[in-house]
Structure 1
Amino acid sequence: MRCTVFGTGYLGATHAACMAELGHDVVGVDVDPGKVAKLSDGVAPFYEPGLEEVLRRNLAAGRLRFTTSYAEAAAHAQVHFLGVGTPQKRGEYAADLRHVHSVVDTLTPMLERPSVIVGKSTVPVGTAAALGARARASSATDVEVAWNPEFLREGFAVSDTLRPDRLVLGVDQGRDAAAWVEALIREIYAEPIAADVPFLLTDLATAELTKVSANAFLATKISFINAVSDVCEATGADVTVLADALGYDARIGRRFLDAGVGFGGGCLPKDIRAFMARAGELGADHAVAFLREVDHINTRRRTTVVDMAARACGGTLRGADVAVLGTAFKPESDDVRDSPALHVAGMIRLRGAEVTVYDPKALENSRRVFPTLNYATSVTEACEFADVVLVLTEWDEFTALRPQDLDQVVRVRSIIDGRNCLNRATWRAAGWVYAGLGTP
């Protein structure tokens, strides 16, 4: 089947490549010629394990191509996926929908046959219905808007697209074409549906809320265990053992119960803020008021780690040499958007320390955000003469570290485990001062 994907950022490029992998004839569209040129050469503009192999395989097979031409895309297919960014507005909590509106306003006048625009982007509830009216007002043919939210995890995006936990499709159930839209999307996802991936058909608002509710729940779970870790520190309890005990309860589960420096990235922080903003617009701000504290807990974790670093350096960071291992917001990603690790490194630098960072994949992105930090090309280089080492992203390269790897490199044998991912007994037995979050 033919389809297009508008936006070739993290979401759009992955979706385009994976739709081609499912056997469809796909055109990816972006206004950035540089991005289009890279993708056309089989080079992803970001790091995602396995994505470039999928890109190259489908480019070579002729099932995938990229363009800047909306006219070419409009003529190519009648199913158009919308995967552009919805960042947080500057100075506000609300989502910025300019890119979404721009795609719809540019595409719909070019459509010459009945078409469906299928939203993948995370948007405030009510956006899809408004876009449907907007699209029909500017098109000479029938246009439907549906919403098919993504649930990708960075680092697992290819497998999450090809074999998702669930497929959610929101349609305008008051429109005569709702059944036609459902049939088209079922055809596109025929392979995962045949593999027993659950397919849930909903109204537009439910589909939109499914995505933001999932992110709000995950953010709440992370902030919950981080709040409990503060109590553990005050009492001498061990939050890692406590989390294991909670995780055995099938109603709770162990995932997302790892105390640490908190969550970040391009989704959870901005999505819970947009959720709060939209709830306020709807007069339901009281219903999600707890998310404000979820956000505050998460932000405070960063200051907590900075304060731990200051204590490790004798009470002040001025003049200290600090090594930070990890700047991406999570392992298997080069994404530094709202990264706790990079934010902590920047705050330590602002307190007067000399900060040297290393990350296996995110150095280039980090340097663009914080050019005043020092950037190393290895763990050893980053830790040379360090007064304290901070592990802030749990890359395998860092969790595999042993005290003897750094004994002769650092100035002071002191380590802060911002992800509780190291064996503290091993480090302490080797004579290191080890500090974790919520651990004795």
Structure 2
Amino acid sequence: MGRLFGTSGVRGVVGKQITPQLVMDLGLSLAAQLGNSGTVVVGRDPRTSSDMLEGSLISGLLSGGCEVCRLGVVPTPVVSFAVRMLRAKAGAMITASHNPPEYNGVKLFDASGMAYTPVLEGRIERIYSGRKWRQVNWDEIGAVEELNVLPDYVGTLAGRVQLTKEYKVVVDCGNGAASVVAPLLLREVGCKVISLNAQPDGLFPGRPLEPSPENLTELCRVVRSTEADLGIAHDGDADRVVVVDEKGVVVPGDEILALVAAEHLNREGDKMVTTVDASNVVEEVVGGRGGKVIRTKVGDVSVAVEIRRHEASCGGEPCGAWIFPRFGMAPDGLLGALKVLELLNTSGKRMSELLAPLPDYYMLREKVPCPEDRKAKVMALVSKRLMKEFSEATGVLRVDGIRVNLLDGWVLVRASGTEPYIRVTVEARTPGRAEEILRKATKSVKRLL
């Protein structure tokens, strides 16, 4: 399948890019990278292929001399938590996050619970491509231990939150891994909980896994009809959180990220990290609290790397993947939900009241289909094309893809690291201008295909 790792681990369609053999060899490669010893924590989401791939991954790890702690169906952040709690050498989560049910993949975590960096992924790539692993003798094969860490995880998170009000919360688990934790966790912190799609089901019949506004219409309706204080939605592995206000309106990811990050600042001049595709509202809100915003590549591992480098208080992506380093270095949608509740509780306001003063920005996103083998060529040519199309540009940022800053907005074009698309994101002060920028940008990209 060419290069193994994308923006968020190894991912693809089962039976095509992702096969049992590939995952077993990946397990062998991970074992070799770990020195053919040590414990690896393994979790999975409820996809129909996850059981099969879990067996393949564990087979590779065991035959490579590692011990395995099998968690079963858990959210991705629970794997990160368990690695730290058990002092394991590494962790592996079998998931394709928000992708459709035919997809699956593997995401790796180091001993600190942070996702593997590109440097570590490169080591795995070299071992895998060169088949430089070692299968141990029969009397050195590792063992498997079954462990339920969910009570520890829930207890630890719940112990960090003290709410003075009973909030009514509607939580949409999307039939994903959040189903085994989210309703319980919210009740544990004193919320009155209404659950939607809270039965793990690998076909994900309740709604598509991407927690986008068009996929959350039922959640919005239930929030309104039950007069709930808040709606919460998670993706397939619950490393992301999306918020619905008390009026049943999906809160833009950039705006809730800005509010939570500003609330989380420890002191004047404190830093937070976000990605190149986040709205300018983040700078305005965080800067208004005396904080500094650092931008990096799209992907939670890029955010985590910069958080560590700059000793930032928090970081996150507009998609709802937020990292709070005082708890852990992996994105945690369940912890994110608690942070939103803390924000409501501290402010004493409704979500819509917190959002009302924020400046108006209009962001549009479009995915342009592009075969994997064409991405590099398109991205090599798109910079010159965009600069010609937007001659009024005030600056260019090449942290990830190309972002062209304009007097009244910006446009970002980047290749997806998880899907066969070129992603186009634009922002402007008015809807009409945003549509105009998007139209010109997508036209430029399509001309290159």
Q: Report the TM-score when normalising by structure 1.
A: 0.28
Which structure has the larger Rg? 1
User: Greater share of helix residues, 1 or 2?
Assistant: 1
Q: Report the TM-score when normalising by structure 2.
A: 0.27
User: Greater share of strand residues, 1 or 2?
Assistant: 2
